[in-house]
């Protein structure tokens, strides 16, 4: 409860509601640490929740498509000698649809990009960081709609998270910079 009180006091001071002298340096450092942990936990929870939602939205259709392709492949192999052009066309359409949805058949078996939790989390990370590898993407309309709204909220959250991480990294370095300045080192300019 004391930490929550300090956290609220920190934000009140930051917004100018309370004067700065009410919060001492120790309380400010504790609030800084708490806010970093809250942000980290919130960001990771958002990523894990997104991965689970994408896994849930995309797994069913991919499993149905995989089974349909395996059935079509079995039927083709069974009737290979007597295959008609219509049957070949149906198989090729099923093959094109399967490839479009991430199921890639190879000679040794079927390799496909499943929406396992690991792959879903990888998709979330590449989406929120705006890298977007494209090796896996939502194929269902619900998955695509969810992706748009998830990214609209998640990308700004990622920027805030990365800003907090960079501040956490720079904070000890600024102390080191002050130490070097006190030791007689001057600031180095890298311009001509």
Rounded mean pLDDT for each run of 10 residues along the chain, 192 residues in total? 48 52 69 81 91 86 76 73 74 76 65 76 89 78 92 93 86 75 62 46
Candidates 146, 157, 144, 145; CA nearest to 45 is: 157
Please tell me the predicted confidence (pLDDT) of residue 190: 45
Please tell me the predicted confidence (pLDDT) of residue 45: 92
Report the alpha-carbon angle 56-61-62, nearest 5.
Answer: 90
Please tell me the predicted confidence (pLDDT) of residue 113: 64
Please tell me the predicted confidence (pLDDT) of residue 7: 47
Kindly report the backbone phi and psi dihedral angles of residue 180, in degrees, each rounded to the nearest multiple of 5, phi listed first: -65, -40
């Amino acid at each position: 409860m004391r930490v929550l009180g300090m956290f609220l006091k920190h934000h009140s001071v930051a917004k100018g509601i309370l004067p700065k002298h009410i919060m001492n340096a120790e309380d400010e450092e504790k609030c800084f640490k708490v806010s970093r942990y809250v942000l980290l936990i919130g960001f990771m929870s958002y990523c894990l929740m997104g991965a689970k939602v994408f896994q849930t939205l995309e797994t069913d259709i991919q499993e149905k498509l995989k089974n349909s392709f395996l059935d079509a492949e079995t039927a083709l192999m069974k009737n290979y000698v007597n295959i008609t052009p219509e049957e070949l066309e149906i198989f090729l359409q099923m093959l094109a649809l399967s490839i479009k949805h991430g199921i890639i058949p190879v000679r040794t078996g079927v390799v496909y990009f499943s929406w396992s939790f690991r792959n879903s989390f990888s998709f979330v990370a590449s989406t929120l960081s705006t890298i977007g590898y494209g090796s896996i993407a939502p194929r269902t309309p619900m998955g695509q709609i969810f992706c748009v709204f998830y990214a609209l909220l998640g990308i700004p959250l990622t920027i805030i998270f990365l800003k907090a991480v960079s501040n956490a990294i720079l904070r000890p370095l600024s102390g080191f910079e002050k130490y070097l300045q006190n030791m007689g080192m001057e600031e180095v300019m890298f311009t001509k």
